[in-house]
A and B are shown apart, each in its own frame.
Chain A
Amino acid sequence: MIQTLATASPTVYFCGICVGADGYVYTLDMLVAGYVINKRNVSDLSVEETLPVTTSALVTYSGGLAMDSDGNFYIFRDPRLEKRASDGSLTETLIVGAANNENGGICWIDGYVYIAEATNSLYKIKDDLSSAEMVSLDYSIAYAMTATSTKIIFTGWNADNDPVNAMYNTEFNEEWISAIEIGDYGYKIGSYGFTVATVTYDYPIYPVIFPLR
């Protein structure tokens, strides 16, 4: 069930969305006056805080928005990758990628940013933006990409050009590949990017036994 549907002003154009480790939804919004990152309440998607993003690098379409576990933002728009602090201020930039690769997606996993080129290639970039490695996969699986905990999930095509989803580890080894259930192909993909906390107990738990009467 779609619980909330918020159609913003036509003067707003969304250029990315992600969920932070703090539980808020963040959107990259293009306004007439420029770009902002809006921090949104998950219950009704209302804006709780607006972070100005001063840049000339972005246009209507972007490669999306990602966050790390410390609340830093990563914005990609071919060929410019920006790292921004949690207040929206620019901290690093890196020119990476080739033309027309803005559609594949961006995600962060454990110290690295990953950018997909909507083909078979992607970039693995240290999250201080100090270095980038380009990786070519065997087929066009990296049409779109997301992260779940410590894994990359792609949607794209297999070696026979059939539409598939696939999970890879961060060393680019395939863990599984499976057919897409319905339709010609998937063109965007999303997941929760952070490790889900588990509850542990520091003390033993003793059973309580009630006597039968």
Chain B
Amino acid sequence: MADVAFVIIGYNPTLLQTYDVEGNFLRVKSVSGSFNYSNTYLAMDVDRNIYFCWGSGLAK
């Protein structure tokens, strides 16, 4: 499987989706929380771990 280049959090349904550097879909992960477009932020480290926060929640 290709390396993860970026992650998005999607709307309807709320899912984390990873893509490679050419934009090809890789994997999907269901998450739960009070996410919305204004209170959610995403980041990734050099090892492609995903970090995200929303409201008072913080996850790796």
- Is this pair of chains taken from one and the same complex? yes
Determine which of A2, A102, A167, A184 lies in contact with B60 in the assembled complex, contact meaning CB atoms within 8 Å.
A2
State whether B44 touches A165 (Cβ < 8 A).
Answer: no
Determine which of A7, A65, A176, A180 lies in contact with B17 in the assembled complex, contact meaning CB atoms within 8 Å.
A180
Complex contacts, A176 vs chain B, CB 8 Å? 22-23
User: How far is it, in angstroms, between the C-alpha of A9 and the C-alpha of B58 when the chains are bound?
Assistant: 11
Instruction: For chain B, residues 3 to 58, give those with C-beta under 8 angstroms from any C-beta of chain A.
Output: 5-13, 15, 17, 19, 21-25, 28-29, 31, 36-46, 48-58
Complex contacts, B17 vs chain A, CB 8 Å? 180-183, 186
State whether B43 touches A153 (Cβ < 8 A).
Answer: no
**Secondary structure type dominating chain A contacts:** strand
Chain A interface bracket (under 10, 10 to 19, 20 to 34, 35 or more): 35 or more
Size of the B side of the interface (Cβ < 8 Å), in residues, is 44
Q: Does B59 contact A (CB under 8 A)?
A: yes
Complex contacts, B9 vs chain A, CB 8 Å? 186-189
User: How far is it, in angstroms, between the C-alpha of A112 and the C-alpha of B17 when the chains are bound?
Assistant: 28
Min C-beta distance of A136 to chain B, whole Å: 21
Q: Interface with B: A48-56, A82-90, A125-133, A190-198, which one?
A: A190-198
**Secondary structure type dominating chain B contacts:** strand
Determine which of B6, B11, B13, B22 lies in contact with A187 in the assembled complex, contact meaning CB atoms within 8 Å.
B11
Min C-beta distance of B39 to chain A, whole Å: 7
Determine which of B19, B39, B48, B55 lies in contact with A165 in the assembled complex, contact meaning CB atoms within 8 Å.
B19
User: How far is it, in angstroms, between the C-alpha of A14 and the C-alpha of B17 when the chains are bound?
Assistant: 22
Min C-beta distance of A39 to chain B, whole Å: 13
Q: Does A139 contact B (CB under 8 A)?
A: no
User: How far is it, in angstroms, between the C-alpha of A175 and the C-alpha of B31 when the chains are bound?
Assistant: 30
State whether A184 touches B12 (Cβ < 8 A).
Answer: yes
Identify the 7 closest CB pairs spanning chains A and B, nearest first.
A190-B42, A178-B23, A186-B8, A183-B10, A14-B53, A181-B25, A191-B6
Interface residues of A (CB under 8 A from B): 2-10, 12-19, 23, 25, 27, 42, 45, 60-61, 64-65, 102-103, 144, 146, 148, 153, 155, 165-167, 176-178, 180-192, 194, 196
Interface residues of B (CB under 8 A from A): 5-13, 15, 17, 19, 21-25, 28-29, 31, 36-46, 48-60
